[in-house]
Every structure is written in C-alpha cells, then in structure tokens.
C-alpha cells in the first residue's frame, strides 16, 4: 500500500466517525449557548402524574373567568408582557404559582417573542392564557399524557 491510499482510508474513517457522532446527537449545543430557565411546573413532580386532583368543573370555570379579567387588564397595560408578568396574572386569577407553565419570553437569538402563553393543569384540563398585540385569549384544552400543559421543558 502506498501512503496516499493509507491517508485516504484514514480520512474516510475520521469523516465517517464525525458524521456518525453528529447525527446521533452526541455533540454539544452551539458554543456559549445555554438553556434559558423559565419557571414551569414543580421540579419534584413526576412526569406521569397530573399536577392537581380532578377539580370541580365550576372551579375550572371560575379560574377561566377570573383569568379572562386578569389577562385583559395585563394586555391593556402592555402589548408584550414578560414571563413574570404573565405568571403574576395567573396568580392574581387564583392559579397556584407552582403549577403555572409559562412560555419563553426571549428567543434563542435574544429577541422578544411576539406572543406569550401560559397554562395551568387542573385535573385533566389545562387552562391556557395567551396575550398578543394587546389582546388576550383564554381557552381550555386536555392535559398532555405527561401531566403538563406544554410539550418540552425550558428549565
């Protein structure tokens, strides 16, 4: 074997290993990138359990009604509330602060998001609140199999 054949084979092996590691996700994130910490559901909660026991449907209705008022007030104050303001609005509406899940308020590139959403699980229902461009929306959706309202975890 000549030296060119050996070099070519070695380079091919190195490239294949590098591509395999990259494709398998064994690498790290971008240099200097760190996940943003946002308050979500309690860390001690196991993923397969719901945050609260099944509430009375009138409790869900009362929270939904109160949340509509709270988010309307917040949306009137600011077009683009941050995560803490949205969390405070849920708390003012009667939601348990430890159970409220809030979307990120800054993109990975450092820009403010166009809209903010938060949700709180109550039994098998999630009550979501959403603010965008100075208006708010409240809706109810089923809890995910994980017991949470959001897919993923920003902690």
Along the 155 residues of the chain, how does pLDDT read in single tens digits? 555 554 555 445 454 434 444 444 444 444 443 433 334 333 334 444 444 444 565 688 999 999 999 999 999 998 888 899 999 999 999 999 999 999 988 889 999 899 999 999 999 999 999 999 999 999 999 999 999 999 876 54
Residue entry with tokens 């975890």: 153
Structure tokens at 29: 């994130």
User: What is the b/e burial string over 31-64, where b = at least 16 CB atoms within 10 angstroms of the residue's CB?
Assistant: eeeeeeebbbbeeebeeeebbeeeeeeeebeebb
Q: What is the pLDDT of residue 152?
A: 73
Q: What is the pLDDT of residue 59?
A: 86
For the chain, what are the domain ranges? 57-142
Query: Does residue 50 contact residue 123 with C-beta atoms inside 8 Å?
Result: yes
Q: What is the pLDDT of residue 78?
A: 87
User: What is the b/e burial string over 70-89, where b = at least 16 CB atoms within 10 angstroms of the residue's CB?
Assistant: bbeebbeeeebbebebbbbb
Residue entry with tokens 């398998």: 24
């Amino acid at each position: 074997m000549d030296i060119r054949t050996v070099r070519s084979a070695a380079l091919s092996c190195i490239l294949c290993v590098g591509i395999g590691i990259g494709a398998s996700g064994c690498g790290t994130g971008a240099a200097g990138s760190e996940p943003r910490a946002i308050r979500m559901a309690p860390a001690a909660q196991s993923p397969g359990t719901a945050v609260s026991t099944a509430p009375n449907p009138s409790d869900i209705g009362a929270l939904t009604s109160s949340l509509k008022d709270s988010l309307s007030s917040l949306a009137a104050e600011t077009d683009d509330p941050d995560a803490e303001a949205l969390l405070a609005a849920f708390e003012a509406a009667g939601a348990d602060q430890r159970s409220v899940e809030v979307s990120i308020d800054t993109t990975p590139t450092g820009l403010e998001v166009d809209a903010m959403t938060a949700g709180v699980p109550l039994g098998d229902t999630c009550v979501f609140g959403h603010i965008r461009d100075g208006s708010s929306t409240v809706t109810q959706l089923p809890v995910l199999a994980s017991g949470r309202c959001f897919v993923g975890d920003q902690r």
